[in-house]
């Protein structure tokens, strides 16, 4: 993770709760490779009554889309080299890669599936990374100082399922804790740096970097196990926030920069299959693909339905929104609730229905009735967590809590790096040397090199 990302996201967390002043301001993140802001044109396809949980089902989906929905002939695939990005979650990508291995010997251009380029999607990556951070820092129980379990109990989060947490409330909880920890550090350290944001953030970055040493320090004092856990949480969250911010900004360069760290965290958190997929993807970007193809793959992962800055979202998130509209808002009811009706009348018109719904009240000149909800302030929750951290002496010079120190959590990035170096990367590089004339997608699909 870059120093610039640490500076931006720590200063953002602190600045939102403090009075504006020249010394308390957000340190901007430099843009790297930002997509041109245009409204994305999308074309919903008809629904398919196909079981996608099997390799055969995924093949049926490919055939249905290319031959029926798009009307592509076998000759279209044989005229010249064809490359089609096929998006999916990690399981879909794995099945498609396995399918490509089984079809490698086919002489038919379509049947060989050489034109299929399976690619993971960013919203599913965000959800998995969020879950990984949550599980790592959850703690044994609510009595563990500085653990997420203790903060869930403190905030009395109603309906929060600790066993199977949903993405939205979990990401909101993680952000509240991140903001609170940032505020504790600011209140503890800013006097020694004369309230200068840049110098303060650099002091925090130094403390995080010292985690690699046997005796990490925070502002010159030894870190307790609870301090170490908090600094690890801050470091993990900066990666998650940077991934989300890069997506929202449509900055492909920042996405490129953050993915290697995400791969390490996935492996360190036990998500070896996602780590393998990210490793395969990074290998393609750095060693196999042309710059043009890399840009096409990355840009296909984002859409901007509104056509305004800072409004980019993952393509699979947009698809989830369409799925919700299809299954709930515009679902067929009663005798019309058939697959044929859903396919022919509803699925391809969902976006039109949404446009009509937005414009209807304006057209008949009635008062606009917004269904949007203002995002509630998290200030009170942040202050509660901040006070608890200070009481426990976490990232704080004094301590009132008498409970024993917790165990140190897994260092996702360091553990992931060790696992990669000892197993996955070594095997992956050996295979890339041996199969330099074969697409590494097919090699990796045939022999998963990341140990479970």
What is the mean predicted confidence (pLDDT) over 232-242?
A: 97
CB 273 within 8 A of CB 90: yes
pLDDT value for 436: 43
What is the mean predicted confidence (pLDDT) over 279-303?
A: 92
What is the mean predicted confidence (pLDDT) over 61-81?
A: 85
Secondary structure element (H or E) that encloses residue 226, with its range:
helix 225-249
- pLDDT 10s digits, 300-309: 999 999 999 9
What is the mean predicted confidence (pLDDT) over 404-432?
A: 81
Q: pLDDT: is 364 or 62 the higher one?
A: 62
Q: What counts of helices (H) and strands (E) characterise the chain? A: 19, 6
pTM of the model: 0.88
Mean per-residue pLDDT of the chain:
84
Q: pLDDT: is 194 or 396 the higher one?
A: 396
Q: pLDDT: is 277 or 250 the higher one?
A: 250
What is the mean predicted confidence (pLDDT) over 274-281?
A: 89
Question: Can you read off the two tokens belonging to residue 378?
Answer: 């998290």
- Measuring CA to CA, which residue among 247, 31, 239, 236 is closest to residue 121? 247
Res 426 pLDDT > 70 = no
DSSP-derived letter for residue 21 is: B
pLDDT value for 353: 80
pLDDT above 70 covers a percentage of the chain that reads: 86
Burial 36-45 (b: 16+ CB within 10 A, else e): eeeebeeebe
pLDDT value for 445: 45
pLDDT value for 22: 56
- pLDDT 10s digits, 160-190: 777 778 999 999 999 999 999 999 999 888 7
What is the mean predicted confidence (pLDDT) over 244-248?
A: 97
pLDDT value for 442: 47
CB 37 within 8 A of CB 294: no
- Output the CA–CA distances (angstroms, integers) from residue 134 to 261, 274, 343, in the order listed: 17, 17, 39
- Output the CA–CA distances (angstroms, integers) from residue 430 to 322, 423, 443, in the order listed: 42, 11, 11
* DSSP code per residue over 351-394: HHHHHHHHHHHHHTTPPP-----PPPP-HHHHHHHHHHHHHHTT
Res 440 pLDDT > 80 = no
Residue 198 and residue 339: Cα distance in Å, rounded? 58
Question: Which span out of 254-263, 367-376, 394-403, 414-423 was modeled with the highest average pLDDT?
Answer: 254-263
Q: pLDDT: is 347 or 24 the higher one?
A: 347
pLDDT value for 187: 87
pLDDT above 90 covers a percentage of the chain that reads: 41
Compute and round to an integer the Cα radius of gyration of the chain. Answer: 25
What is the mean predicted confidence (pLDDT) over 240-269?
A: 96
Q: pLDDT: is 330 or 294 the higher one?
A: 294
pLDDT value for 416: 92
- pLDDT 10s digits, 25-59: 888 999 999 999 999 998 888 888 888 788 888 88
pLDDT value for 107: 79
- pLDDT 10s digits, 361-379: 677 766 655 555 567 788 8
Res 203 pLDDT > 50 = yes
Would you say how long the chain is, in residues? 452
Helix (H, G, I), strand (E, B) or coil at 301: coil
CB 253 within 8 A of CB 198: no
- Output the CA–CA distances (angstroms, integers) from residue 103 to 112, 114, 421, 438, in the order listed: 5, 9, 32, 14
pLDDT value for 438: 42
* Region of poorest pLDDT, from 50-64, 122-136, 182-196, 225-239: 182-196
Res 407 pLDDT > 80 = yes
Phi, psi of 238 (to 5 degrees): -60, -35
pLDDT value for 126: 97
- pLDDT 10s digits, 77-117: 887 778 889 998 888 888 888 888 888 777 788 888 888 89
């Amino acid at each position: 993770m870059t120093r610039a990302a640490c500076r931006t996201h720590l200063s953002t967390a602190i600045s939102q709760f403090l009075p504006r002043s020249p010394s308390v301001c957000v340190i901007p993140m430099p843009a790297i490779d930002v997509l041109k802001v245009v409204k994305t044109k999308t074309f919903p396809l008809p629904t398919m009554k196909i079981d996608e949980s099997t390799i055969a089902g995924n093949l049926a989906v490919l055939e249905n889309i290319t031959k029926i929905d798009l009307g592509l002939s076998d000759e279209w695939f044989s005229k010249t080299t064809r490359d089609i990005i096929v998006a999916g979650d990690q399981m879909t990508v794995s099945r498609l890669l396995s399918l490509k291995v089984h079809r490698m010997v086919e002489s038919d251009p379509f049947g060989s599936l050489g034109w299929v380029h399976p690619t993971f999607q960013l919203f599913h990556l965000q959800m998995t990374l969020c879950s990984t951070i949550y599980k790592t820092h959850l703690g044994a129980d609510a009595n563990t100082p500085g653990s997420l379990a203790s903060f869930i109990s403190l905030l009395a989060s109603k309906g929060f399922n600790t066993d199977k947490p949903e993405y939205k409330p979990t990401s909101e909880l993680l952000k509240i804790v991140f903001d609170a920890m940032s505020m504790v550090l600011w209140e503890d350290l800013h006097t020694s740096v004369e309230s200068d944001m840049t110098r303060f953030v650099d002091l925090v970055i130094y403390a995080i970097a010292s985690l690699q040493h046997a005796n990490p320090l925070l502002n010159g004092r030894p870190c307790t196990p609870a301090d170490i856990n908090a600094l690890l949480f801050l470091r993990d969250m900066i990666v998650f926030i940077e991934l989300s911010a890069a997506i929202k900004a449509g900055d492909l360069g920042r996405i490129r920069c953050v993915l290697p760290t995400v791969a390490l965290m996935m492996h360190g958190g036990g998500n070896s299959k996602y780590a393998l997929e990210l490793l395969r993807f990074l290998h393609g970007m750095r060693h196999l693909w042309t710059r043009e193809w890399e840009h096409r793959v990355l840009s296909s992962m984002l859409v901007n339905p509104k056509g305004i800055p800072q409004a980019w979202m993952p393509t699979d998130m947009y698809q989830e929104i369409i799925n919700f509209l299809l299954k709930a808002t515009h679902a067929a009811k009663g005798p019309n609730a058939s697959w044929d009706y859903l396919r022919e009348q509803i699925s391809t018109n969902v976006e039109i229905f949404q446009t009509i719904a937005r414009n209807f009240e304006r057209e008949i000149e009635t008062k606009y009735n917004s269904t949007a909800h203002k995002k509630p302030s998290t200030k009170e929750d942040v202050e509660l967590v901040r006070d608890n951290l200070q009481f426990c002496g976490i990232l704080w010079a004094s301590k009132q809590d008498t409970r024993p120190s917790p165990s140190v959590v897994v260092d996702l990035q360091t553990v992931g790096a060790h696992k990669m170096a000892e197993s996955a990367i070594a095997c992956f590089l050996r295979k890339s040397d041996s199969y330099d004339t074969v697409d590494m997608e097919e090699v990796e699909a045939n022999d998963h090199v990341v140990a479970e």
